[in-house]
Amino acid sequence: MIGVAGAGVLALVVTACGTGGSDSGTDSGKGTSEPAAPTALSVETTARNATWTFRSATHQLKVAPKRLARGSAADLADAHLDEDLKGKIPYYLTVTYTNTGSAALSQPAPQANFTVALADGTPGDAVSLWSSNPLATESGSSLPDNCDKTGPGSVAAGATATVCQIVMLPEGHEPATVAYADDASDTHLWKVGDGKGDDDGGRLLAAGTTGSSSYEDVTTKGVAVPIKVTPKSARAGSIADLGDYDLSDEQKKLVPWYVTLAYRNAGKVKLLPAMDTGVGLRTAGGREIQPVPLLDFSGSAEGEGIDQCRGSVPNTRLEPNSALTLCTIHLLPKGDRPAMISFTGEGKGATTLMWRAG
């Protein structure tokens, strides 16, 4: 048996392996069922200073991707995958990490902090394999790049380890980014290929493209009013901009990003100027970041703090054929950046629009 841990939980996967059975021998002649060799993808490999936190202890590392290869569904054909992993393709991410601290690392697993993300910020599902048959005597690897092998039990100070992490991604997509994240350090990003990935069959619009949706509020009496939505900008600010806001210690370590969209009322019914409640954001590191509620910071003069994000908002409803811009604030870890901006309309037949962030 082989187990798989994915998406933050352990999921049991049963496959034919071990010392017995007609499917487990290395010379049983699999014919056309033998998985094809994985396809190597270009990926940046610059090493970055990072941390790995385990059991409240933070360790200093230097981390980098070494190789990324796309496998095939046939690689895991004998495995009984969880429903959320079915239909996804395994990617084999080989990473290196150097222990730059003064003490040895025991049972290190910084490879679990890596992920591979699509152009729209969708993260892959990292999975781990283990053998449940302690009597198995096969010494070879049944997966490419030794990705069914565990990492070292310890890594001495100054030593470097190389480990492979399996990441499952939806079929038919091109990954855009490899990311490493730890609570005690910045997020690190490496481009896959040109870093652009794919446009999800045209569903991921280019930055600045105007899309059509609809919006319904309490004043429209059940009418979904057509609107035109255009992303204008996504820019980083300073945490000092939120100086009058009661932030937690963790929030104070983050970077505010201001996301501005323009909305035009293309219908015949007035609308409340509250479309920004439908804005979402995903990052290149694979995070989904909800907006921070915009409160009235009485201590900020006009043009200071978050006022530079809000701009002027009409006190009355948005007239037909009129437009306004609204801004949302999203707090991102240092080193991460927006990858996708979305708008979800309200009411019957409302659609979700997605754009590249830049």
What's the pLDDT score for residue 144?
A: 80
User: What are the extents of the domains in the chain?
Assistant: 2-191, 204-356
Q: What is the DSSP letter of 123?
A: B
Rounded Cα–Cα distance for residues 35 and 104 (Å): 38
Name the token pair of 230: 């255009």
What's the pLDDT score for residue 14?
A: 40
The alpha carbon of 157 is separated from its chain's Cα centroid by a whole number of angstroms, namely 31
DSSP helix/strand/coil, 87: coil
Q: Which helix (H) or strand (E) holds 106?
A: strand 105-106
pLDDT by 10s per residue, the chain, length 358: 333 333 333 333 444 443 333 333 334 344 445 667 899 999 999 999 999 999 889 999 999 999 999 999 888 887 778 888 888 999 999 999 999 999 999 999 999 999 999 999 999 999 876 555 544 444 455 788 888 888 899 999 999 999 999 999 999 999 999 999 998 889 999 999 999 999 999 999 999 999 999 999 989 988 899 999 999 999 999 999 888 888 899 999 999 999 999 999 999 999 999 999 999 999 999 999 999 885 544 444 444 556 667 656 666 789 999 999 999 999 999 999 999 999 999 988 788 999 999 8
CATH code that applies to domain 204-356: 2.60.40.1240
DSSP helix/strand/coil, 257: strand
What's the pLDDT score for residue 6?
A: 38
| Block residue for tokens 């697993």 | 109
- Point out which residues pair with 224 in neighbouring strands: none
User: Is it true that 2-191 and 204-356 share their CATH fold?
Assistant: yes
270, 223 contact by CB (below 8 A): no
pTM of the full structure: 0.86
Please give the angle made by the CA atoms of 182, 186 and 188, to the nearest 5 degrees. 90
| Block residue for tokens 């996804």 | 88
What's the pLDDT score for residue 7?
A: 37
What's the pLDDT score for residue 36?
A: 76
Name the token pair of 77: 């054909």
What's the pLDDT score for residue 301?
A: 46
259, 289 contact by CB (below 8 A): no
User: Closest Cα partner for 114 from 71, 156, 52, 172?
Assistant: 52
- Point out which residues pair with 331 in neighbouring strands: 256
332, 239 contact by CB (below 8 A): no
Domain covering 2-191: architecture: Sandwich (2.60)
Name the token pair of 197: 């990935």
**C-alpha to C-alpha distances, 340 to 195, 248, 352, nearest whole angstrom:** 13, 26, 12
User: Closest Cα partner for 142 from 3, 17, 11, 4?
Assistant: 17
Q: In what order do the strands lie in the sheet with 204-205?
A: 204-205, 352-356, 338-344, 279-283
**C-alpha to C-alpha distances, 304 to 237, 244, 328, nearest whole angstrom:** 12, 11, 16
**Residue 353 CB contacts under 8 Å (≥ 6 apart), including other chains:** 205, 211, 213, 229, 342, 343, 344
Rounded Cα–Cα distance for residues 174 and 166 (Å): 16
Q: Which helix (H) or strand (E) holds 339?
A: strand 338-344
What's the pLDDT score for residue 264?
A: 97
What's the pLDDT score for residue 295?
A: 56
| Block residue for tokens 């409240």 | 56
